[in-house]
Amino acid sequence: MEDGEERRKLHHFIAFCKSAEILPASSSTAQTPPKRGAPGLDQLMIPIRSKDTILELNPDLINLGLSNRKHGIRANHIFSTDTFSEDCVTYSRHFAPAVGM
């Protein structure tokens, strides 16, 4: 897929996630823009500043799964470097309703 088309689909999907409260609406909560994983890896990597924001996520998994399928995304990996323990590097949650997880 050409880079511009990939970027357009990603922006559309991120807008959906914000409207469905899967992602915080405020861009100030993100560490960096969400990106797809490596080429061939259909996983959306979503950095968030606060572990509490991640802990409180309660996405509509049916709509998330439908949107994931529409945009060719198999999984959503939401993570933060804000952790509950100094022994940890990241805190994350993983949603993959498009593949039944």
Cα–Cα distance measured from residue 39 to residue 27, given in angstroms and rounded to the nearest whole number: 25
The reported pLDDT for the residue numbered 92 is: 92
Contact 80, 90 (CB under 8 A): yes
CATH superfamily of 3-99: Diaminopimelate Epimerase; Chain A, domain 1 (3.10.310.10)
The reported pLDDT for the residue numbered 1 is: 41
pTM of the model: 0.66
Regions of the chain with pLDDT less than 50 = 1-2, 27-29
The interaxial angle of helices 61-70 and 3-19, nearest 10 deg, is 170
The reported pLDDT for the residue numbered 85 is: 92
Cα–Cα distance measured from residue 14 to residue 81, given in angstroms and rounded to the nearest whole number: 20
Cα–Cα distance measured from residue 70 to residue 54, given in angstroms and rounded to the nearest whole number: 24
Cα–Cα distance measured from residue 49 to residue 79, given in angstroms and rounded to the nearest whole number: 8
The reported pLDDT for the residue numbered 26 is: 52
Domain boundaries, the chain: 3-99
The reported pLDDT for the residue numbered 27 is: 43
